Amino acid sequence: DAFMDMTFRGEVNEPITDDLDKSLAILRDARTSTLGLFPSYDEGRLESAAILAASFAAEGEESAMRTLRAQYVLGKIRLYQGRDAEAAEALQKVVDGHGEGAEDARRLLDFLFAQHLVEQE
């Protein structure tokens, strides 16, 4: 999963400084797996992470890279939750803003459109 590689490389020893960092920390704790396979997520923690990512995205400039990263994180969380329309909205902002993860966001959007999980505008 490209998101996991991008976000969770190595140990993070930096202090948590904002809602995006808090969101990523909660998201990291929300994920469990068996032998590194079959990931599952704690719904309460996912929602907490989503709220923080959405808050961070709402406060920043729409084109700022960290704001677009927050949108990407929010999009992935909404996908994990099965909230496809909300995921598509966040991922489209990443694609439109050419943010980090835009190629992955485009592939995810294409999948959602191809599977008719969301309507293409």
pTM value > 0.75: yes
Q: What percent of the residues of the chain are helix, what percent strand, and what percent coil, each to the nearest 5?
A: 65, 5, 25
Q: In whole numbers, what is the pLDDT of the chain averaged over residues? A: 85
Residue that has been written with the tokens 């959007």 in this structure: 109
The tens digit of pLDDT for each residue in 22-53 reads 999 998 899 898 888 888 999 999 999 999 99
SS (HEC) of 56-69: HHHHCCCCCHHHHH
The tens digit of pLDDT for each residue in 95-118 reads 999 998 999 999 999 999 998 888
Question: 115 — phi, psi (to 5°)?
Answer: -85, 0
| Count of beta carbons in the 10 Å neighbourhood of residue 46 | 19
Q: Which amino acid is at 31?
A: R
Residue that has been written with the tokens 């439109």 in this structure: 96
